[in-house]
A and B are shown apart, each in its own frame.
Chain A
Amino acid sequence: MTHAIEIKDLHKHFGDNEVLKGIDVTVEPGQVVCVIGPSGSGKSTLLRCVNLLEQPTRGQVRVQGVDVTDPDVDIDAVRRHIGMVFQQFNLFPHMTALQNVMIAQQRVLRRGKRAAEVVARENLDKVGVIDKCDAFPAQLSGGQQQRVAIARALAMNPDLMLFDEPTSALDPELVGDVLAVMRKLAEEGMTMLVVTHEMGFAREVADRVVFMDGGVIVEDGPPAQVIGDPRHERTRSFLSRVLHPED
C-alpha cells in the first residue's frame, strides 16, 4: 500500500535561515496526524512543502507515491488531490460562499455549472453553512468563513487534507464549530495532516501527534504518549506552556 504522504529528510532554507533540518514523517491513508510545536518551529513550512507552496531545498516529499519535487511532475494535478485550509481562510472576497465552492470545480475539474452547484451545496450543507450560500465572505463570521473554506476544499474530492492552524484566527466561541466539522471528516476516514494548538482535538482525534521544535521532529507517536506522557524535556515544557498558560 502506498503512503498518503511520505516525507524523507526534508530540508528547507530561506536564504541563510534553515527552517526545516531533516524532517521524516509518514501519513497513512485514513490517518489523522497532528503537528504541534512552538511558533517559528517550521510547522507551516512543513505543511506548505507537501503541496509545494514552498519548494523544498532538499529531500523527498511523496504524495500517494508521486514525488512532488520531481520537476517533471504536473503540480496542478497533484494539488487537485490535496485540500488545503489556511489560518486566514483565504476565501475569495469577490465571490459568494457558493461561488467560492464552485469556482475551482468549474475551472479546474471542468464540471458544468449545475453539477458544480450540486456538489457545492452538498458540501456547504455538510459543514453547516448552507443558509449562507449567497453571503459574501465579509458578511460571515470567522467560523463560518473557515467552514466555507473547508467546503471549498472538499468540493474537489481531495484524497487528503492539510490544515494550517484552522482555528487560530477564530474567536474562542467559534472554534468548536470548526473542530466539529474536522472531527466529522476524520470519522469519515479523511486523511488529514493538521497543524494545531488545540490539544483536546489532537488528543481525541489524532492517530499520531508530531512535536516539532527548531526545524526538527522531537517526538512522533500516539497522542497518549506524545501529549499524555512525553519523553523529551522540550515536549514537556512546550505542553506545560500550552496547557497551563497562566503558570
Chain B
Amino acid sequence: MTAEPGKARLSPRKKQRISRGVQYALLVAIVVGVVLYADWPSLAQNFTKLDVAEKALPELFTIALRNTMIYAVGGFVLSFVFGLLLALMRLSTVGPYRWISTIYIEIFRGLPALLIFLMITFLPLALPGFEVPGGTFGQGILGLGLIGSAYQAEVFRAGLQAVPKGQTEAARSLGMSAFRAQLTVVIPQAIRIVIPPTTNQFVSLLKDSSLVFFLGVSGQYVELAKFGNDLASQYANATPILVAGVTYLIVTIPLGYLASRLEHRKGTRR
C-alpha cells in the first residue's frame, strides 16, 4: 500500500478501513471459488437425500440417541463420583494418595481415548473369566468413565482450590473436623464453581461416546455415530451421517450455551 501524496502516513482509521476491505474481498473470493467448483448435485445427492434421511426414523431417536445418552450419562456419573474421589486424593496430605491420583490423571489424560476403548475390548483376553458388568453398555460406560474421571478430577481440584482458605478455617474454628468441613463447607461451594466446566465435560463425553463404535457394538446397543455409519453403508449414501451429526448438535449446542450462561451467572453473583 502506498501513502497518499502529501501525507506522511495513513491515519489509523483509514488503515482499519483498508484492512477490513481486504478481509471482505478475500472472503468473497473464497465463497465464489467454493460455489463455482463444488459439485452441488453430487453433494446434495450424497449428503441430503431426504428419502434416506427418513429411513433413519424413528430409530434415530428411539435407539441411537437414547443409547448415546445412556453411554454419556453413565460415563458422566462414573466420572463425577470417581473424579471427586481422585480430586480429594490429589489434595490429600497423605503422599501415596496424591501419587496414585496424579499418576492416574496423567495417564488417562495423556492417552488417546480411542486407545482406551481398544484396550477395553481386550480386557477379556487379558483377564480370562473377567467380564465388565452390564455387557456392551457396561464397557462403553467404563471406557467413558475412566477417561472422564481424569478430566473431571482436574475440574474438581480447581474448584476445591478456588474455595478460599478462610472458609475451611472458619469451619474448623467452629469445631468441625477436617472431613466435616470439606463436606459441609468446601464441597458445596466447589460444586457451584465447577458446574460450567462440568457441563462442558458432559458435552465432551457425549461426543466421545461415539468411540463405543470400536467396541464392535451392534443391534440394540448402537449409538448415533455407529447408527449413522451403518445406515450410510446400507444405502451407500452419507446422509445418515449428516443426520447423526445434526442430532449431536441438537444436544451439544444448547448445553454449550447453558454452560456459558451458568458461567456468566456465577460472575454476577457474590
Residues of chain A whose beta carbon lies under 8 Å from any beta carbon of chain B = 51, 53, 76-77, 79-80, 82-84, 86, 88, 90-94, 103-104, 107-109, 136-138, 149, 152-153, 156
Contacts and interface: CB of A to CB of B under 8 A. Distances in A.
B177 A92 contact: no
B269 interface: yes
B109 interface: no
Contacts of B189: 92-94
Contact of B188 (A91, A94, A152): A94
Contacts of B218: none
Contacts of B180: 107-108
Nearest to B178: A76
A104 B174 contact: yes
Contacts of B173: 51, 53, 79, 82-84, 153
28 contacts: A53-B169, A79-B174, A80-B174, A80-B175, A83-B173, A84-B170, A86-B166, A86-B169, A86-B170, A88-B166, A90-B164, A90-B166, A90-B169, A90-B170, A92-B167, A92-B185, A92-B189, A94-B189, A103-B184, A107-B176, A107-B180, A108-B174, A108-B175, A109-B175, A137-B270, A149-B170, A156-B174, A156-B175
B172 interface: yes
B176 A108 contact: yes
Given A79-B172, A91-B170, A107-B180, 14 more contacts: A80-B175, A83-B173, A90-B164, A90-B169, A92-B167, A92-B170, A92-B185, A92-B189, A94-B188, A94-B189, A104-B171, A108-B175, A108-B180, A156-B175
Contacts of A152: 174
A108 B164 CA distance: 22
B192 interface: yes
A153 B174 contact: yes
Interface in B144-176: 164, 166-167, 169-176
Interface of B: 164, 166-167, 169-177, 180, 184-185, 188-189, 192, 269-270
B91 to A, nearest CB: 18
A94 B170 contact: no
Contacts of A76: 172, 175-177
Nearest to A152: B174
A136 B270 CA distance: 9
B40 to A, nearest CB: 56
A153 to B, nearest CB: 7
Given A93-B189, A94-B192, A104 B176 contact: yes
Contacts of A90: 164, 166-167, 169-170
A138 B170 CA distance: 17
A108 B170 CA distance: 13
A137 B269 CA distance: 11
B194 to A, nearest CB: 13
Contact of A107 (B167, B184, B188): B184
A87 to B, nearest CB: 9
A80 to B, nearest CB: 4
Contacts of A51: 173
B199 to A, nearest CB: 19
Nearest to A82: B173
A51 B169 CA distance: 10
A137 B167 CA distance: 13
B175 to A, nearest CB: 4
Contacts of B176: 76, 104, 107-108
Contacts of A107: 176, 180, 184
Nearest to A88: B166
A51 B184 CA distance: 21
- For the complex of A and B, the 9 pairs showing the least CB-CB separation, nearest first, are A104-B174, A80-B175, A90-B170, A84-B173, A138-B270, A90-B166, A108-B175, A79-B175, A76-B175
Contacts of A93: 189, 270
A138 B266 CA distance: 13
A138 B172 CA distance: 22
A119 to B, nearest CB: 13
Which has the most chain B C-beta neighbours within 10 Å: A94, A109, A156? A94
Contacts of A156: 174-175
**Residue of A86, A92, A137 with most chain B CB atoms under a 10 A cut-off:** A92
Most buried by B among A53, A91, A138: A53
